[in-house]
Structure 1
């Protein structure tokens, strides 16, 4: 199967996943939250498994503490993913607001001809972040799933716009 066909199939699958995430934002946000809890649990177990590789007591203590924190956070998320989703929505809002402000500063300082696009991206990202923070916690039911769906949609578009395979002569 050639790479262009593979990219098109992947893009179609991403469009489908994006549509599902946007149409069912609460379900997709909850599943994302549960996946994050699973990843944190795996990271904590990984940290604890690395205890034997530490030479000194201080390294073992810090590695063990890190592993226990990861596992505690994972349990907190997995025991009540809906409340965790509410907290993650606030975190995402603050993160987007800060990212948008950094994009604005970078675009304003850039002599690049694309500086205007970077500023536009910064404004939009900062507005999204600000809206999430202002509307929190009421937007927590739909926001993460909708944002995830939009990100999947943009990834699919980027796959379709990606570099074309070299033509043979």
Structure 2
């Protein structure tokens, strides 16, 4: 009886692993499709991203407020209440006016690209480390991207956030597909030995 359980156990584990990696691959395909749709409809992707962000802030603020009320005897009660209130307020504002929130977030992203690009460029020129060329290219790309987004702002806010979010979905999905496919191959190779 122990032998049959031992023999069935590895096969069952292999089947579970294969199913798990298969689920990862299917989720990857869903993310890739969502990313491609988002790249086609960038304005809708931007609006959807902002609404999702607003709802996450709102729900997170409500949960934070409930947690602060539960911990009202601690020294961090008021800090928890203030942070929760700010999250709730930001969530409500983003849900009510997602276009303005997208404009503000796009401006913030452009400024991050600009400052990051400048720091990488200067850092690569000053340090001249082993990754000099790659850091220089990253800095120049960040600086160029920041300038391009700012040059067309606020109209760029209609597509920048949606494009970045869609690209993130696309690459995350490709990563999950590769993990699922590679994992199944490795399980098949190990189980075949």
TM-score bracket for this pair, using the shorter chain length: 0.7 to 0.9
Question: Any unmatched runs of 5+ in structure 2?
Answer: 1-17
Change (3 A) 1:90 1:48: same
Paired residues, number: 167
What pairs up with 1:15-54 in 2 under 5 angstroms?
15-51=32-68, 52-54=70-72
- 1:129 has 2:168 as partner: no
* Residue number in structure 2 paired with 1:83: 100
Distance in 2 separating the partners of 1:33 and 1:18: 16
5+ residue gaps, structure 1, are none
**SS in structure 2 at match of 1:164:** helix
Radius of gyration: which is bigger?
Answer: 2
Shift of 1:71: 0.9
Tell me the equivalent position of 1:73.
90
What RMSD in Å do the two structures reach over aligned CA positions? 2.8
Alignment TM-score, normalising by the size of structure 1: 0.79
What's the TM-score, normalizing by structure 2? 0.71
Give me the whole-angstrom Cα distance separating, in 1, the residues matched to 2:46 and 2:128.
Answer: 35
Q: Distance in 2 between matches of 1:61 and 1:8?
A: 45
Higher helix share: 2
Following the alignment from structure 2 to structure 1, what is the Cα–Cα distance between the partners of residues 27 and 171? 13
